[in-house]
Amino acid sequence: MNNFKKPDASLWQGRKSNAYLYLHEKVICTDILKKETKKTITILSYACDAGVKRNQGRVGAVTGPEAIIKQLAKMPNHLENNTQLLDVGAVFCVDNDMEQAQQTLSKTVTNLLKNNSFPIVLGGGHDIAYGHYNGILNAIEKGKTIGIINFDAHFDLRANTNGNNSGTPFFQIAEDCKTNNRPFKYLTLGIREDANDASLFKTAKELGVTVIKNEDFNLHQTKNIQEQIYSFINDVDVVYTTIDLDGFSSAYAAGVSAPSPMGFSPDIALQCLQTIIKSGKLISVDIAEMNPEYDIDNQTAKLAASLAHTILHSI
């Protein structure tokens, strides 16, 4: 099944400088994965919201990656001349076969990491996390521990008894870890009690999840938050960070699958991202649940693009 599209160069447009002042002038669109000898950052899209539909959410995130790229393309380029920025295309979902899309995502992430590239994956539903995690797992040295840091309103630890969806990825990962005798290391930032039922908090406790609730996830608590992040990172070998845009307040991110005005703000998220990046253990990142169908003046897409801009200029 062919569920991978070549990169669309027409998405990368903006003000012209002829001096590589903007990212659309810096990016190289290629679907050829090869061993990189210089610092390389790769944009990979996951155009799938089948998991959101299965989870009874509002669909539309399938076009999320394109919306983010269109905003990222216009942004200024501050990368060094010897740093490559690639767009390698999009994994998409055929006939609602989310599992196949996840497998393709996993294989692509593995190839990128083995070819010395840093992936920034744009989604798409949060089922992106299961494929992304497995891609990392297959790329790193056997025995190394992956720490997951999730910026999110939701645990996404729903049992998959009735099938996999955008609310089950971390439960699936936990089950795989149990089966294969691997530690399950999971830190959540911005969890809301009004977005997770009691059974999910119980599951999180049983799995040893480190939880920072939304009411404690703000700049006033920066020192305590950073200490918990440092402690978590010190206990793992590599870090996979996933940012679910519905964790942000809908004042900043209305264009998501599950919006709420009660989410966190960009300032604390950016502070924590810098802490994670400076650890030197960050191996890959994704941004999930971008839903252009409900965006206002591209505000959510601009937020996602700004997050990606910060990451690619900081790693």
Strand partners, 285: 120, 241
Answer whether the bond into residue 123 is a cis peptide, omega within 30°: no
Strand partners, 44: 121
Cα–chain center distance at 282: 12
3-class secondary structure, 314: helix
Judge whether 295 is annotated as a binding position: no
Asked if 79 and 312 count as a contact pair (C-beta separation under 8 A), the reply is yes
Question: What does the chain come to in residues?
Answer: 315
Q: Which two tokens stand for residue 234?
A: 């010190």
Judge whether 244 is annotated as a binding position: yes
Judge whether 126 is annotated as a binding position: yes
Asked if 220 and 199 count as a contact pair (C-beta separation under 8 A), the reply is no
Judge whether 246 is annotated as a binding position: yes
Cα–chain center distance at 138: 18
Judge whether 152 is annotated as a binding position: yes
Q: How far are the Cα atoms of 108, 114, 192, 278, 291 from residue 185, in angstroms, in the given order?
A: 23, 23, 20, 19, 28
Cα–chain center distance at 36: 23
Strand partners, 185: 147
Judge whether 156 is annotated as a binding position: yes
CA distance 149 to 99: 23
Residues 6+ apart with CB under 8 A from 85: 23, 26, 27, 28, 40, 41, 42, 43, 77, 79, 312
H or E element, residue 213? strand 210-213
> Other CB atoms closer than 10 Å to residue 2's CB: what's the count?
7
CA distance 124 to 294: 14
- The binding site for Mn(2+) comprises 126, 152, 154, 156, 244, 246
- The binding site comprises 126, 152, 154, 156, 244, 246
